[in-house]
Amino acid sequence: MPETDVLNSTPTDPLNPDYGWQKKRPVTHLVGKANVGPSYTREITDVGHQFLLSWGTTLDSQKAESDILRLKRYYEQYRDGFFTLIDQEGATKREFVGRFVTPVEPIPIGHNRWAAQNVLFEEVPDAPMRTGHYPSDWTNDSIWRFTMNDFGEVQPAVDDPASWHFEGSDGGPSYYQLVSTETDAYAQLTYLGWGCQVYGVIGPGLGIAEILLDGDSQGTVDQYNVTEDFTGVLLMTITDVPLGLHTLRMRVTGTKNGASSGYGCIFYALKVMR
């Protein structure tokens, strides 16, 4: 997206909202436990982040009329499109592509002192990021997608259940993994987010797998290593992917490192940029 489509592009920009606004993933599903215990919530999908923003709510943060009118122009210009909002809070900037879904209403609160309150900004799935501004804080802005979730459900789909077996891992963030030695067998996991990191298992008897995203090959990863590591090793990072629904596939190539004693490949976990 062009630079002109960026809201509050620097920490000192007068269009930075007052901090303290909430950020949330809006869509959850309430599930009641059987027999005993309280109900619990389970996230079933994520249509993007929502931000409830305000400007000029304190004496120090009150705005000039020109600033509030500029915000209003953003709302009017991008009601049918989107722009980039930069989260300037904290040490790491994060960019969100979306639009205001509630009007910006200028509120006069004194002589050339204005405010705008409770403006809802919603991230738009499938909107492209500006080149070179992909979210990069994998520690704070991503989530794990494991082979089995907390509800005992196996997450990846496979081409043929007979080609894969499910087994326990020796540790790491995921305690289960899918294993196959069949050439062209594949396991895949659909996720909602930007890009992802592929984590795997390495060892002396493992082969080479091809990684595909939405059907496009991202290259191969060699799971051979002299010593085994079943705690989750980063195999590949895929970035510059638009926010949306994506499918990551691991395919057994039937090839191996010359030093490996086998051709098997292991689907372990994904780390998804949300």
Residue-wise pLDDT for 107-155, tens only, equals 999 888 999 999 999 888 788 877 777 888 898 888 899 998 878 888 9
Question: Average pLDDT for residues 42-59, to the nearest whole number?
Answer: 76
Cα separation, 18 vs 55, in Å, equals 5
Residues in Cβ contact with 49 at an 8 Å cutoff, skipping those fewer than 6 apart: 23, 24, 25, 96, 98, 122, 123
pLDDT of residue 107: 95
Residue 45 has pLDDT above 60, yes or no: no
Q: Is there a single domain that holds both residue 68 and residue 175? A: no
Domain boundaries, position 179:
142-273
Number of domains in the chain: 2
Tell me, what amino acid is at 193?
Answer: G
* Alpha carbon distance 170, 7 (integer Å): 47
Helix (H/G/I), strand (E/B), else coil: 165? strand
Spatial contact of 233 and 223, defined as CB atoms under 8 Å apart:
no
Q: What residues form DSSP beta bridges with 29?
A: 42
Q: Are residues 62 and 94 in the same domain?
A: yes
Domain shared by 255 and 205, yes or no: yes
**34, 142, 175, 189 from 150: Cα distances, Å:** 16, 18, 11, 16
Does residue 192 share a domain with residue 151? yes
Q: What is the CATH number of the domain that holds 225?
A: 2.60.120.260
Residue 228 resides in a domain:
yes
CA angle in degrees (0–180, nearest 5) for 52-58-62: 90
